[in-house]
Chains A and B, each alone.
Chain A
Amino acid sequence: MTMETSMTGPAVRLTGVQKRFGDQAVLHGIDLDVAPNEFVSLLGPSGCGKTTLLRIIAGFEQVSAGRVEVAGVDVTGMPPHKRPTNLVFQRGALFPHMTVAENIGYSLKLRGWPKGRIAARVEELLALVRLEGLGGRGSTQLSGGQIQRAALARALAPQPTVLLLDEPLSALDLKLRQHMQLELRALQRQLAATFIYVTHDQTEALVMSDRIAIMDAGRLVQVGTPREIYTRPASVFASDFIGETNLVPGTVMEVHDGLVTLTAGRVTRLRGRADSPIAVGAAATLSVRPEAIRLTRSDASMDTVPPVDGCRGQVRQVVYLGSRVRVEVVTEDGITTWTDLREDEADGLSADDWVSLHWNPEAASIWAGETIRTEA
């Protein structure tokens, strides 16, 4: 049942992949290696080119320039039916005139397997995706979750070198989606298969992936483990797209060993780490996660010296989120920030209270430039 991957090179290698539709460039030179048995998510907002990239790997779109290799074989000009990849479509795309079992067995029938062997393999796959006993159902008699399970089984049937998944869970409701995410991840580990998963849902990418490739406007913005991407986002876009963050524009005042001090407004001094070189006096943006900020009450009035790391401000509102409490603080310089606290930490905190905000500079990232992209 496991997919034997004895190859040593990458399962998929994209080299300088470009795609244009007419005069519109959709992909600007993508380089990406996906290792065997790896679960890689292509994550980005709609229109960033992630689905086009997946369809290029599947063979439904041709590259304008560049090369696609699967298991060391150049498949760039190969039609989809000859590629060792299989795709799970967004809405399943089950054949409406076939039963679930016929859907799953279709690729094996094409390969000329005898009937008995197909039936056995179909049973095995039905059990794998937990659709036992539903093989005889028509594909229109399935629920949304069952459709995607059947589509998954159908795509896995011919044991593809790489399984491609195009937002297969996006049509499901939240509860089922969360459940299926964990199930997909477990399945991928069990089969030791290579998965490339397209999604616009950052939580989904964080939960399932070994590595996430963030895409924006036809470019790879950052490729890394979920942890790397969350804690050390490579750009303002990445930090804003993955998780929630506070973005503060400012001017670089001091750089010391990668630790940058930023001035923002009249009195605010903020510190964080810059992974790329940055010049004193340049415009920069700091990103700090709401949960990385510590909050202390300060009874001091305006005339005392502001804190060195972080800033001081007044609580505007306290929002109860169940597992935690989110506090909106407006600093002395009028910067709006959000801080996440445990419920007991926020005990007694109310609007108009004076507080100080601190964080470990290592937990904040700084990049040159002040453009802040906000995603709707």
Chain B
Amino acid sequence: MVGVGRRSVGAGHDTTRGPGTSARSVWAARLFIAVVLVYLFAPVVVTVLFSFTTSRRLSLPIEGLTLDWYREAFADPLFTSALTNSLVLAAVTAVVSVVLGVTFSFGLARLGRRARGPLLTASLLPAAVPALVMGIALAVFFTALGRPPGLPNAAIGHILVALPFVILTLNARLETFDFSVTEAARDLGASPLRTFRDITLPIIRPSVIGAALLAMALSIDEFVVTWFTVGNQQTLPVLIWGLLRRGIDPTVNALATVVLVALVCLVVLSNLLSRRRR
């Protein structure tokens, strides 16, 4: 009904001009898109740009290019320990959240449709809790348990932050997973464990790796929850925040750029792997 009505109006008299019918509106639309994109990327581009400039002051025009700030940043012993801590946290977060996420998602997939929906929503809900609230909650929680702040607490926080996204990724894969192939393997003589190793894991591997990379990205980037739980230890975001308190320094730009490149790589890879279907 609606479609027919629209078509007859369009064919009769040209009162409803759709987007793209006049040259001026096309240019206006393009300009608007360009402005929004500049707004989205300008701060990041400026940061990356200034990490390579020779001048210590952040001002244009750029006088020359250098890698000195990177050398300076990497030479700082604080940086080395922050990087190590960040990588350890990322690895632990990836492994633990993927193991928990895979088992949880398989459990969900075995449940009836009616139970699955609410449980999935419940497991994703923590992602909607503001990081600040989560950070305070964890700090209070660990204090109540009498646990001193440190890397293990931060790891628990990171897993909590990453797990909903891991579950979301894996659940999407398992929605289209044909469980009759696992039955076929059992039927042909494979034990449950062997079936998982030979059949299930190879089939879902791209999604598992994608989820792991996503968890690493979330962990490396995590600041608020980390700050509330890590105590006097350093991670890259915590280090950057500390350096910023001394004023903006080109080494901060260099560090931020390192984190940026790492995260972009992880997220892009994660997306490629999660989307790939057999």
Q: Which residues of A contact B (CB under 8 A)?
A: 58-60, 79-82, 85-87, 89-91, 93-97, 106-107, 110-111, 140, 154-155, 157-158
Q: Which residue of A lies closest to B194 (CB)?
A: A110
- Asked if B180 and A93 sit within 8 Å, CB to CB, the answer is yes
Interface residues of B in 160-191 (CB under 8 A from A): 178, 180-181, 183-191
Given the complex, which residues of B lie within 8 Å of A82, measured CB to CB?
189
Report if A80-B278 is in contact (Cβ < 8 Å); known contacts: A94-B181, A96-B203.
Answer: no
- Supply 30 A–B pairs (Cβ within 8 Å), ascending by A: A58-B187, A59-B186, A59-B187, A60-B187, A80-B183, A81-B188, A85-B187, A86-B188, A87-B187, A89-B180, A91-B178, A91-B180, A93-B178, A93-B180, A93-B181, A93-B184, A94-B181, A94-B184, A95-B199, A96-B181, A96-B278, A97-B203, A97-B278, A106-B185, A110-B188, A110-B189, A111-B189, A154-B184, A155-B187, A158-B189
Inter-chain CA distance A93–B186, complex, in Å, is 12
In angstroms, Cα B203 to Cα A97, docked, is: 6
What 1/0 mask marks residues of chain B from 92 to 122 whose CB sits below 8 Å from any chain A CB?
A: 0000000000000000000000000000000
A-B contact count (CB 8 A): 66
Q: A93-B178, A93-B181, A95-B181 are in contact. Are A154 and B188 (CB under 8 A)?
A: yes
B202 within 8 A of A: yes
Contacts A96-B181, A110-B194, A140-B278; is A79 near B199 (CB within 8 Å)?
no
Q: How far is the CA of A60 from the CA of B259 in the complex (A)?
A: 50
Return chain A residues, CB-CB under 8 Å to B185.
Answer: 95, 106
> B198 — nearest CB in chain A belongs to which residue?
A106
Q: How far is the CA of A79 from the CA of B192 in the complex (A)?
A: 10
**Complex CA–CA separation, A157 to B188 (angstroms):** 9
Most buried by A among B187, B194, B202: B187
Contact partner of A89 among B183, B190, B199, B203, CB < 8 A? B183
Closest B residue, CB atoms, query A111:
B189
CB–CB A79/B186 < 8 A: yes
| Shortest Cβ distance from residue B133 to the other chain A in the assembled complex, whole angstroms | 41
CB within 8 Å for A107 and B181 given contacts A96-B278, A97-B202, A97-B278: no
Whether B186 lies near A110 (C-beta < 8 A) is no
Contact between A80 and B187, CB atoms less than 8 A apart = yes
Q: Give A172 to B278 CA distance when docked, in angstroms.
A: 23
The 9 closest A-B pairs by CB, nearest first: A107-B188, A93-B180, A93-B184, A110-B189, A80-B186, A97-B202, A87-B187, A96-B278, A81-B186
